[in-house]
Amino acid sequence: MTRQELLAQIAKKKSMLCVGLDTDIERIPSHLLKLEDPVFEFNKAIIDATHPFTVAYKPNIAFYEAMGLSGWKSLQKTLQYLQTNYPEVFTIADAKRGDIGNTATRYAKAFFEELGCDSITVAPYMGADSVKPFLAFENKWSILLALTSNPGGKDFQTLELQNGGQLFEEVLRKSAQWGTENNLMFVVGATRADYFKKIRDIVPNHFLLVPGVGAQGGSLEEVLTHGIINDPALLINSSRGIIYADSSELFAVRAAKEAESLAMQMAKFL
Amino acid sequence: MTRQELLAQIAKKKSMLCVGLDTDIERIPSHLLKLEDPVFEFNKAIIDATHPFTVAYKPNIAFYEAMGLSGWKSLQKTLQYLQTNYPEVFTIADAKRGDIGNTATRYAKAFFEELGCDSITVAPYMGADSVKPFLAFENKWSILLALTSNPGGKDFQTLELQNGGQLFEEVLRKSAQWGTENNLMFVVGATRADYFKKIRDIVPNHFLLVPGVGAQGGSLEEVLTHGIINDPALLINSSRGIIYADSSELFAVRAAKEAESLAMQMAKFL
């Protein structure tokens, strides 16, 4: 998917919402468990209910991998369902991969070709040759971890460098030269809205994927205020706050309400 | 597997060799392609031939994931084969995962429980809460990326910090407090033998997983000279140099010869 297509979808739906499909067999409504593939059925219901308010879906790959073969099948079916029924939607494999050369290319093929995802999250620690192989795929995106919202994010990401600035700034600065605004995004934790100015000084136009709104406690208002310079180049994620809003048979209806409520807050900034 | 069991195996086999199972369907001998699961058959033959000289096997997860469901099956069969036939051997899921909290726990379950691996490689960028969940599993190991041997390794890992030292040193220093010599290892690229002194000053006793000997051009002699302080706490990996030493029907015999040759060089230091 191109940047223009993604921006067009944001304009049309008046939303920058990304729904995280962190689907956990132990947390999905019990009435689904008697079906053949409860994880897929859960995702399908969530997608059908939330798609009018949602521009991107982000399956967290760990949740599927933890279930072995059956998890991989549920993931594959979920992505096929999205691509067939809602081809305008942007898909993110939240895999946080980071490996070099031909290994990175293998991962890129697995997620871009085998699963047909539009994008994948990538870790920066191994440097240019762990990121560039992902950037080589046409109309596919790499979403590089820059500043994450977890407590451990400050263990290394905010270390002050001898030549000035913090590590995450150097990650932004250096990696922005490896890709373009058309194939590279960054993960920026929403609980650090105070850092948005620094980030937008370095990458004013790149899309930012912002997790941590909702369950992790980030302020949506602050993200929207500081995160948009020109285009509304933000994908704002909520996972548990939407998909586990309710555990009854009405879970999908409640999920849609939560998604709509977030989208309405976003619409004011569009 | 415990540190003592791993050291006992190293003493018994007089080897610190780890064989990387970077198995690529496009590179395996053509006579295997007519079998039902060529990737597994290739791995099985390599393992049967090389195990007398090998203390650890390291499947590179990307190669299996790139093949989707069939790749995951081949991986599962390979690990089951190892656990059943060579239970003394240490297994490493080279997955370079890095994610937080419950997501990290999912990955840990996938690799430690679902696949039964002894260890997994982990990326440090997201900090403590992306590493500690892996360390919570008894008799399982986390192998943290510290200094990698690829050219991009110097993009961030060797940045000088304001408070002194380089980023990889801070990664070693901080993470050594999260785990112990009994559940935490580090990846250290062999092409940087000049860094071994710095590393052993910080973590004199932790096991180091050293990739990059052989095809990537690291010097085995230097690694052995600088990498051992007390116990021979090294796992020295070779992948392509062993498994693709020959592409004829004699591939496994040639692989065993390459493995034996590396092990003999190691034996001098044991």
Query: What are the b/e assignments for B237-248, b being 16+ CB within 10 Å?
Result: bbbebbbbbeee
* Residues of chain B neighbouring A109 (CB-CB closer than 8 A): 66
- CA dist A115 and A117 (Å) reads 6
Taking 80 as the threshold, does the pLDDT of residue A55 lie above it?
yes
Q: Do B126 and A76 touch (CB under 8 A)?
A: no
What is the band of B159 on the pLDDT scale with cuts at 50, 70, 90? very high
Q: Between these two residues, B176 and A149, which has the higher pLDDT value? A: B176
pLDDT tens per residue across span B192-231: 677 888 999 999 999 999 986 765 556 888 889 899 999 9
Taking 60 as the threshold, does the pLDDT of residue B162 lie above it?
yes
- CA B140 from centroid of its chain's CA atoms: 14
pLDDT given for residue B22 in this prediction: 96
What is the band of B143 on the pLDDT scale with cuts at 50, 70, 90? very high
What is the band of B149 on the pLDDT scale with cuts at 50, 70, 90? confident
Q: Do B99 and A62 touch (CB under 8 A)?
A: yes
pLDDT tens per residue across span B51-70: 999 999 999 999 998 888 89
- CA dist B209 and B187 (Å) reads 5
User: Is A240 exposed, middle or buried (CB count within 10 Å of its CB: 0-12, 13-18, 19+)?
Assistant: middle
Which of A69, A131, A167 is opposite residue B159, by nearest beta carbon? A167
Give the residue on A whose Cα is nearest the Cα of B98: A96
ipTM for the complex? 0.94
pLDDT given for residue A63 in this prediction: 94
Mean pLDDT of the region B138-151 = 95
pLDDT tens per residue across span A110-160: 999 999 999 999 999 999 999 999 999 999 999 999 999 899 999 999 999
Give the residue on B whose Cα is nearest the Cα of A74: B69
Q: Do B145 and A130 touch (CB under 8 A)?
A: no
pLDDT given for residue A217 in this prediction: 54
Which of B62, B96, B100 is opposite residue A152, by nearest beta carbon? B100
Q: Where are the alpha helices (DSSP H) in chain B?
A: 3-13, 38-50, 61-65, 68-85, 101-108, 128-135, 153-156, 167-175, 196-202, 220-227, 240-243, 251-267
Which of A104, A107, A152 is opposite residue B129, by nearest beta carbon? A152
Which of B103, B114, B153 is opposite residue A68, by nearest beta carbon? B114
B142 — phi, psi (to 5°)? -110, 135
- CA dist A81 and B3 (Å) reads 46
pLDDT given for residue B102 in this prediction: 86
Which of B99, B137, B149 to mutate to probe the A interface, most A CBs <10 Å? B99
Taking 90 as the threshold, does the pLDDT of residue B47 lie above it?
yes
pLDDT given for residue B66 in this prediction: 86
pLDDT tens per residue across span A254-263: 999 999 999 9
Q: Do B148 and A126 touch (CB under 8 A)?
A: yes
pLDDT given for residue A215 in this prediction: 53
Mean pLDDT of chain B: 94
Residues with Cβ within 8 Å of B78's Cβ and at least 6 positions away in sequence, in order, are B21, B39, B40, B43, B44, B47, B59
pLDDT given for residue B216 in this prediction: 54
Mean pLDDT of the region A151-176 = 97
Q: How far is B243 from chain A (nearest CA, A)?
A: 16
- CA dist A252 and A243 (Å) reads 8
Taking 70 as the threshold, does the pLDDT of residue B6 lie above it?
yes
The least confident of A31-45, A180-194, B28-42, B203-217 is B203-217
pLDDT given for residue B219 in this prediction: 83
Structure token digits, residue A264: 């309405």
Which of A60, A94, A99, A216 to mutate to probe the B interface, most B CBs <10 Å? A99
pLDDT tens per residue across span B106-126: 999 999 999 999 999 999 999
* Residues of chain B neighbouring A115 (CB-CB closer than 8 A): 68
B96 carries an active-site annotation: yes
Size of interface A-B (CB pairs under 8 A): 180
Q: Which of A14, A73, A96, A132 is catalytic?
A: A96
Query: What are the b/e assignments for A254-268, b being 16+ CB within 10 Å?
Result: bbbbbbbebbeebee
Mean pLDDT of the region A217-231 = 85
The least confident of A18-27, A36-45, B214-223 is B214-223
- Going from the C-alpha of B79 to that of each of A236, B24, B38, B98, B136, the distances in angstroms are 39, 17, 15, 22, 22
* Residues of chain A neighbouring B114 (CB-CB closer than 8 A): 66-68
Q: How far is B84 from chain A (nearest CA, A)?
A: 19
Strand partners, B147: B188
Mean pLDDT of the region B162-186 = 97
| Contact indicator for B147, B202 with CB cutoff of 8 Å | no
pLDDT given for residue B213 in this prediction: 75
pLDDT given for residue A222 in this prediction: 86
Instruction: Give the position of tokens 């050219």.
Output: B151
Q: Which domains does chain B have, with CATH numbers?
A: 3-267 (3.20.20.70)
Provide, rounded to the nearest whole percent, the portion of chain B with pLDDT above 70: 97
pLDDT given for residue B156 in this prediction: 98
Most confident of A82-86, A149-153, A218-222: A82-86
Taking 90 as the threshold, does the pLDDT of residue A86 lie above it?
yes
Which of A148, A155, A157 is opposite residue B174, by nearest beta carbon? A155
For residue A113, the surrounding DSSP H or E stretch is none
Taking 60 as the threshold, does the pLDDT of residue A165 lie above it?
yes
Taking 90 as the threshold, does the pLDDT of residue B144 lie above it?
yes
Taking 70 as the threshold, does the pLDDT of residue A21 lie above it?
yes
Taking 70 as the threshold, does the pLDDT of residue B13 lie above it?
yes
Give the residue on A whose Cα is nearest the Cα of B128: A152
Q: Do A129 and B148 touch (CB under 8 A)?
A: no
Provide, rounded to the nearest whole percent, the portion of chain A with pLDDT above 90: 86
Q: Between these two residues, A96 and A190, which has the higher pLDDT value? A: A96
Mean pLDDT of the region A11-24 = 97
Q: Which of B14, B73, B96, B132 is catalytic?
A: B96
pLDDT given for residue A66 in this prediction: 86
